[in-house]
């Protein structure tokens, strides 16, 4: 039986260096001869992703709940692909995931539980690394762009919701680590690698599901908050 590969999520505020770190990690695993795929959420290439892209660029407006559900649907579009890659031994790195979904929508005033609900049942990560940075330091790194959420006060609120998510995930037994992303790229990637190495040989079948009640007779890393 092929060994199941780990599912690794990199989360963080805008400009925390998360895409760079996800890509460094992907290259590192590849250089070791491990099969790996990098997914970026939102995936703006799909039909749903194009609607999200237009919303983020403020070219269209959508009800807060409607856009929340689209972000979630964009993850569901890839859920079975993620699971089947993992089962076949390909490591998955996701640049953002359901946690961004909760953080960016709950800061608008939507209920935390409501924001969590559409993502219940998605493949659960084996490791989530949150790249933490002070929003003013993030902004000083060449400035935010022009997209909808790229403002310091939005990022501050989002960071607070991430703190709640971290508490709840850790309490539920998930592997969630906070990494100081205000340091050099090399220092951060070294830390990322230490955490990834610690889980490489410790993932179990089957792939867990996010926030779902365990069903009778089901084994695995079920992460319920």
Contact positions vs ligand DGP (CB under 6 A): 14, 41-42, 56, 68, 71, 96, 100-101, 104-105, 147, 149
- Residue 115 CB, shortest distance to ligand DGP, in Å, is 8
DSSP codes, 76-117: HHHHHHHHHHHHTT-EEEEES-HHHHHHHHHTTT--HHHHHG
Residue closest to 11 by CA, chosen among 212, 211, 177, 198: 177
Beta-strand pair 7-12/91-95: parallel
- Residue 179 CB, shortest distance to ligand DGP, in Å, is 16
Tell me whether residue 37 or residue 43 sits nearer to ligand DGP (CB atom).
Answer: 43
Give the DSSP letter of residue 9.
E
Tell me whether residue 70 or residue 200 sits nearer to ligand DGP (CB atom).
Answer: 70
- Residue 125 CB, shortest distance to ligand DGP, in Å, is 15
- Residue 122 CB, shortest distance to ligand DGP, in Å, is 11
Tell me whether residue 63 or residue 213 sits nearer to ligand DGP (CB atom).
Answer: 63
Tell me whether residue 6 or residue 42 sits nearer to ligand DGP (CB atom).
Answer: 42
Provide the 10 A C-beta neighbour count for residue 190: 11
Tell me whether residue 115 or residue 203 sits nearer to ligand DGP (CB atom).
Answer: 115
- Residue 100 CB, shortest distance to ligand DGP, in Å, is 4
Query: Token pair of 98, please?
Result: 């359901």
Q: 165: buried, middle or exposed (CB in 10 Å: 19+, 13-18, 0-12)?
A: buried
């Amino acid at each position: 039986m092929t060994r199941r590969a780990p599912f690794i999520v990199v989360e963080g505020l805008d400009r925390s260096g998360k895409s760079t770190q996800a890509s460094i990690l992907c290259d590192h695993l590849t250089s070791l001869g491990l099969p790996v795929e990098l997914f970026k959420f939102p995936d703006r290439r799909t039909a749903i992703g194009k609607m999200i892209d237009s919303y983020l660029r403020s070219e269209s407006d959508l009800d807060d709940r409607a856009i929340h559900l689209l972000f979630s649907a964009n993850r569901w579009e890839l859920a079975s692909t993620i699971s089947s890659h993992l089962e076949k031994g390909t490591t998955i790195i996701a640049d953002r995931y359901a946690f961004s979904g909760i953080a960016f929508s709950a800061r608008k005033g939507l209920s935390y539980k409501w924001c969590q609900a559409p993502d219940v049942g998605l493949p659960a990560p084996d490791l989530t690394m949150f790249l933490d940075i002070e929003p003013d330091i993030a902004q000083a790194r060449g400035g935010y762009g022009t997209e909808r959420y790229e403002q310091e006060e939005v990022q501050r609120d989002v960071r607070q919701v991430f703190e709640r998510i971290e508490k709840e995930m850790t309490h539920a037994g998930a592997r969630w680590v906070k990494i100081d992303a205000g340091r050099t790229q090399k220092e951060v990637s070294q830390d990322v690698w230490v955490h990834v190495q610690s889980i490489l040989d410790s993932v179990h079948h089957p792939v867990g599901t996010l926030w779902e009640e365990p069903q009778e007779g089901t084994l695995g890393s079920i992460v319920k908050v």
